[in-house]
Every structure is written in C-alpha cells, then in structure tokens.
Amino acid sequence: MTERAGSLALVLHTHLPFVRHPEHPHFLEERWLFEAITETYLPLLERLQRLANDGVPFRLTMSFTPTLLAMLSDGLLQTRYLHYLEQLSELSAKEIERTRWLPPFHRLALFYHHRFATARRLYAESFRRNLIQPFRELSDRGLLEPIASCATHGYLPLMEVQPVAVRAQIAVGVRAFEQAFGKRPVGFWLPECGYHPGHETFLREFGIRYFLTDAHGILFGSPRPKYGVSAPAICPNGVAAFGRDLESSKSVWSAEEGYPGDHEYRDFYRDIGFDLDYDYVRPYLNGDGARLNTGIKYYRITGKTDDKQPYDPDRAFEKAAQHAGNFLFNRERQVEHLRSIMDRAPLIVSPYDAELFGHWWFEGPDWLELLVRKIHVDQRTIELVAPSDYVQRYPTNQVLEPTMSSWGNGGYSDVWLSGANDWIYRHLHKMAERMTEQANANRHPDPLRARILTQMAKELLLAQSSDWAFILKTQTHTAYAYRRLHDHLARFGALYDASRQGQADESWLSEIEAKDNLFPFLDYRLYATSP
C-alpha cells in the first residue's frame, strides 16, 4: 500500500432473494434478477473491466449472497434472461420507429436499443452467460476483494434465540462463496449490517477475519472507540469490525440530499410500460398483463413536478463527473481533518447496495468509474483499499465489544420486526427447533430420509430471507412475500412429518427439489447440536 493521508474502502453489497419459478413460463418477480443484470451487474462489469484494461489501478470490495450466485449460475434463468433481452430489443426497435418524428425521444430510443444490444453481446458472447467468472477474474488480479454473506440473507439478530440457525446461515454462505470463487472469504457481509454480540464467534469458526456494521455498532461499543469509525475495532475473539461512515454514505444513498436526486439524472418512475398505450406495450408485459417497468425511460427527474423534461444522457454524464469530483473533494477534506487528530492514516468505509448503481441510480456505474479515474489521476491524498488491506497495514487496533445494530431505519430491528411482519418469527423459530430435532435424531439416515432432511433445511433457509419481512413492512409485492412464506412453511411442515414417518411422496419431493435447486452441497447436519 502506498503511503497516503488516508484510505477509502468502497463496498458494494449484491443481493437478490432466490426467485426461480420453473412452473410458470413468465414470472413477474424473476424480472428482479433480469433488471439487476441489465442495469447493474453488466454495467458495473463493463466499467470495471474498462478500468482494468486502461491500466487504472483500483481496489473495490463486493459481497455476493449465495441466493444471487445460485440464480446467476442457473441454466433456466440464464435462458429466460436472454429471452427478456430479446423482448427489450424488439420493443426498443419499435420505439425507434414510433419516435422518428420526435427528436429527443428518437435519440433515446436509439440509445436504449444500443444498450440492450450491448447487454446481450456482453452476456451471451463475452461472458458466455457466466457473470461470476469475470468477478472472479477481477479478484484474481487483486482489483476486487469479494466477500461472503449469509445463505439467504437472513437477518441474524432476530435468529438469536436459535444460535444454530445463525451458524447455519453463515456456514452455508461461506461454502457457497468457496464454490463460486475457489477460495475462502476473508470478509463477511452481515445482512442489513445486522450485528448481534456473539455472532463473531461463528465468523471466526469459519475463518472470517472481518465484517461490516453500521456506525453506531462501533460508536456505542464498549469501551468507547478511540478513532470512532475511522479505524476498525477488534472483537475480543480477534475478528475485526468496520463501521460505516455516515458522511460519505449519505451523499450517495439519499435521494433528497445525495447525488441520485439531481434533476439531470434519469427518472426511475417514468417508464413507457405505464406511459404508452396498453395495446402497444401489452406483448412486452408479464403473462398476467399488468403494466410494469420495461427499462425504457425517457424523462429526467426535472424536479418535484409532473411536467418532466426529456432525459439527456450527455448532460447526465457531465453531472456524474461533477458529483464524482465533489465526492472525492469531500473525502480528501475529511481525510485531512481526521489525519490531523489521529496518530495513523484514517479509513473511510463507504458501503452501498450494489443495485443502487444502475437500477435505482441509472448513472451510478458512470459515477463509480469516474470516481476511480479521478482518484488515480487527480489527487495523492486518498488510496482505494479493501478492509483487509487496512488491517494488514495496521494489525494493532483497539479491542472493543460492538453493540447490536443494523443499517435499517431506526438503526436496529424495527424494519424486520413490526406489526406487519412479527408473526413470521414464531414459525421460523419453531422450524429451526424442529430442524435441530431431526438433525440430532438422524445422523446416519437412509437415502430417502437424507433427501427429506436436506430439503427441510433448504425450506428453512429460504423462509428466513430478510426480504420477506422487508416487503411486508414496506407493503410492496406483499402477495408474493405471503405466498413464499406460506409455501416454505407448508413444505417444511410436510417434510417434518415425512421425516418422522420415514416415508414421503417421492414425486412431490422431486418436484420441490427441482424448484428450490440451490445449495447442492447442503448438509442438514449443520443443525445438529448433539455429537
């Protein structure tokens, strides 16, 4: 590491819940994955590879949840994604013709048509449908530090009554990471930055050297942190905890005060799927015919008005460059101030949901690329690092006990435990209890019972996804969240009865195994507590 006044760790957290429905030819929620690939993962890969090919050094950190890794490597979803791109290409070609006498919109129609063609070329030809491999190659070159996360993005603080369930989420997450990247992870993303004291025990068990938490998890720790969140804290068992820097986070996260709300940027909420004549867009909607976002959006944010102005990609790019410069300027001043009051170079940890870049904030990937280039060319104050780099440079850090915390609204568990979703947990706790019961009772089962128990573990893990509680809280896609929870609970109950009886309908078992085909390495004995 080059000696600079301070360091910046940019951390992107990639995650989507496991949404795969082979029983339906077109399933609305599978578009979550398709939109994320088109608007976030491919644009990020394109820009990171361009930086690497241009000889621009960088060091970023990205977490990958096992559910996302499973979907990215699934043949059915890969085929469906290509069909999705073909539909978008066809629609954008129609838009080129429809807007031929509308210059601002015609230019944008051409823009989107080219964008979808590029996405297909990258996905099908450059990456051969495998988006994990290019991230792995960036890791092998030392440009990217991938880190692990929990099996299904389970919110760990609310699993505390069943520690075996916490351990299983972490264990499966580490194993999925090893399969994807061919090495053990050094870092771990706690879903929703949800930390509960003691969970570092499991992290250390699986070789994890650091995790990330929200600022108050460190600031309210004991004893009082000497450097705030400008240096890692070390848990008593030796695992490092990195606290989120609030100042840098706000400038990117906040739609009101941050960059994404600028009037020049693309308006996420105006889409031709809602704006144009229904019969025109109907062939490109989901099977149920409900209007939806197509990804073709012609307007910029403009302001708090319904009178939106056409989007201009060139002006938006210029604004992204300005914002990249502003972010860098502010981080330089922040580092200089911190360095003046610290006896070491400070570290600014800036974690974000990866899907913010491109999906919610269309210009986000451009901003990130421009920021990396500016860090390389325009200054000598800050260096980009991964959290592990900082610990290697400063191996001696303050020992403290972090406090329970999350980065959700309110800073604790309010989002995932409320009147809208609290009913979930009595079922999840009972499922974990029964899973342990059956794992203890069946150390050496016959092949059929082993399949039953393995599927039980999958249903438990999938039911524990924090996404379902979040959706119920925010009242978006609630019908789907209820359905997923109901399905996993019902399947688990039937499997539990089958395990106790030692028999099951094998055709039904094969059917649900085929639906929930993730974690082929899963060993249900993770839930056993007795030797």
Is-contact 398 231, C-beta < 8 A? Answer: yes
- Separation between Cα atoms, residue 87 and residue 284, nearest integer Å: 7
378 shares its domain with 520: no
Do residues 366 and 503 share a domain?
no
User: Omega before 223 cis (within 30°)?
Assistant: yes
Nearest-angstrom CA–CA distance, 226 and 228: 6
- Decide: pTM greater than 0.85: yes
Mean pLDDT by 10 residues, the chain (531 residues): 85 98 93 98 98 97 98 98 98 98 97 98 97 98 98 98 97 98 98 98 98 98 97 98 95 86 96 97 91 97 94 98 98 97 97 97 98 97 98 96 97 97 98 98 95 98 98 96 98 98 94 96 95 73
pLDDT at 3: 77
Is 138 domain-assigned?
Answer: yes
Give a yes or no: residue 94 inside a domain.
no
In this structure, the answer to whether residues 443 and 519 fall within a common structural domain is: yes
Residue 432 amino acid letter: A
Is residue 338, in this structure, part of any structural domain at all?
no
In terms of Cβ atoms closer than 10 Å to its own Cβ (0-12, 13-18, 19+), residue 480 is middle
- 356 located within any domain: yes
Identify whether 458 is part of a domain.
yes
Which pLDDT does position 530 carry in this prediction?
78
Are residue 461 and residue 386 in the same domain, yes or no?
no
Are residues 513 and 438 located together in one domain of the fold? yes
387 and 433, same domain (yes or no): no
Residue 200 has what pLDDT?
98
CATH label of the domain that carries residue 375: 3.20.110.10
DSSP 8-state secondary structure symbol assigned to residue 523: -
- DSSP sequence for 130-141: -SHHHHHHHHHT
Encoded tokens for 478? 């609630």
pLDDT at 531: 73
In angstroms, the first-to-last Cα distance of the chain is: 46
CATH code of residue 444: 1.20.1430.10
**Are 143 and 249 part of one and the same domain?**
yes
In a domain, 169, yes or no: yes
pLDDT tens digits, residue range 148-176? Answer: 999 999 999 999 999 999 999 999 999 99
Q: Which tokens sit at 398? A: 């303050």
Residues 378 and 512 both lie in one domain = no
Residue with tokens 């469906």: 80
**Residues 353 and 438 placed together within one structural domain of the fold:** no
Same domain, 441 and 349: no
Could you tell me how many residues make up the chain? 531
Closest CA to 229 of 362, 313, 412, 351: 351
Is 292 inside any structural domain?
no
**Which residues make Cβ contacts (< 8 Å) with residue 14, sequence separation at least 6?**
40, 41, 62, 63, 64, 65, 68, 354, 355
Specify whether 387 is located in the same domain as 454: no
Structural domains of the chain, count: 2
Question: Is residue 246 assigned to a domain?
Answer: yes
**Does 433 lie in the same domain as 388?**
no
Q: What is the 3-state secondary structure (H, E, C) of 175-232?
A: HHHHHHHCCCCCEEECHHHCECCCCHHHHHHCCCCEEEECHHHHHCCECCCCCCCCCC
Give CA–CA dist 213/415, Å, rounded: 16
The parent domain of residue 157 ranges over 6-73+130-253+344-393
Residue 31 structure tokens: 């578009």
